[in-house]
Amino acid sequence: MSFASGSSHGLRYIAEDEWGTTPSPDPAMISLRHTSCAVALTKDGFQSNELRSDRQITDFRHGVIRVQGDIGIEFSYGEYDPFLEGALFGTWSDNVLKAGKVRKSYTLERAFTDITQFGVFTGCMVNSLSLSIPANAMVTGSFGFIGKGASYGTDPLKAEPTESQTGSPFDSFTGEIHEGGTEAGHKIATVTSIDISVENGLEPAFVVGSNVAAELPHGRCNVTGSVSCYFEDMAMLNKFINETESEITLKLGGATSSYTLFLPRIKYTGGDNPASGEGPLMLNMPFQALYDSSAVTAFQITRHPPT
């Protein structure tokens, strides 16, 4: 008897032309690097309210199907470009991606190769994106998906999917971060971590006569995050106190095979600096990203291809 193990778990994907429909025949599946995967089929449930003299419950029924779950990653160049498009509802143009209104969906396939089982999840859209850049560590993150349908079988969608890319994950000490502008005087040298998240507000819409979602209406593009740095002076904290708008530019990687993340207009929503020991005090500053009319976006990603 063999048990499925994470060490043999595979993950593949393909972009859909029509929401909820896997391109066919012979879909060109692409392997995806990941650190975790929780994409799964779930169902609502309904317990009978029938009253009986013996106090027993007579029935329980399955409700509508839901597909959802997160995929954990170590962020590397090129590997997740299609999902970055999905997260921002945008399209790469001259290596620049901005938040927009272009809906993209994918078919995901989980491969449990040690027990020869394959789970196929269709109509998957990126509901959330998170990136975490701590000091002295790899850049990690996750994509949160919501989908339409799911099925399991013993045959993969494609026997030999295209291999994933092999570039090293980004680290937090190769690159630059600027707050309030890109000139040298605004470069933050004391940041200990920065987190960025995108929420799209996807919610399945169900109708009578079907147990799968008829559509995935989306909400607004809500970009938030937080900066943690050493508490040196009042420069950063005053931006929260005085409701002063700012901007953040974060470059991951070197001159090429890198990304620049640009938040052109942010407002800090907090400024905590608790003391809990003898060590240096940290300033924790969550922020809300806002639409900027000059950049025509609240969040922009620029990729710098290898030369």
pLDDT tens, 269-285? 999 988 988 888 989 99
Query: In the chain, what are the domain boundaries?
Result: 6-47+60-304
Number of Cβ atoms within 10 Å of the Cβ of 100: 15
- pLDDT at res. 191: 80
- pLDDT at res. 222: 98
- pLDDT at res. 72: 98
What's the number of CA atoms in the CB half-sphere (13 Å) around residue 65? 18
- pLDDT at res. 276: 87
Q: How far is CA 279 from CA 133, 227, 231, 258, in A?
A: 22, 19, 11, 34
Burial 50-72 (b: 16+ CB within 10 A, else e): eeeeeeeeeeeeeeebbbbbbbe
What single letter denotes the amino acid at residue 147? G
Question: What tokens does 163 get?
Answer: 């291999």
pTM of the model: 0.93
- pLDDT at res. 112: 95
Q: What share of the chain is helix, strand, coil (3-state, %, to 5)?
A: 5, 45, 45
Mean pLDDT for 107-119 is 95
| 229 against 15, higher pLDDT | 15
184 band by pLDDT with thresholds 50, 70 and 90: very low
- pLDDT at res. 174: 81
Answer whether residue 189 shows pLDDT above 50: no
Looking at every residue in the chain, the average pLDDT score rounds to: 93
- pLDDT at res. 249: 93
Answer whether residue 190 shows pLDDT above 80: no
- pLDDT at res. 187: 52
- Lowest average pLDDT, out of 119-128, 143-152, 228-237, goes to 228-237
- Lowest average pLDDT, out of 141-150, 177-186, 204-213, goes to 177-186
- pLDDT at res. 188: 55
| 189 against 18, higher pLDDT | 18
Please, which residues have CB within 8 angstroms of residue 103's CB and are 6 or more apart in sequence? 19, 89, 125, 218
SS3 237: helix
Q: State the Cα–Cα distance between residues 49 and 122, nearest whole angstrom.
A: 34
Answer whether residue 185 shows pLDDT above 50: no
- pLDDT at res. 259: 96
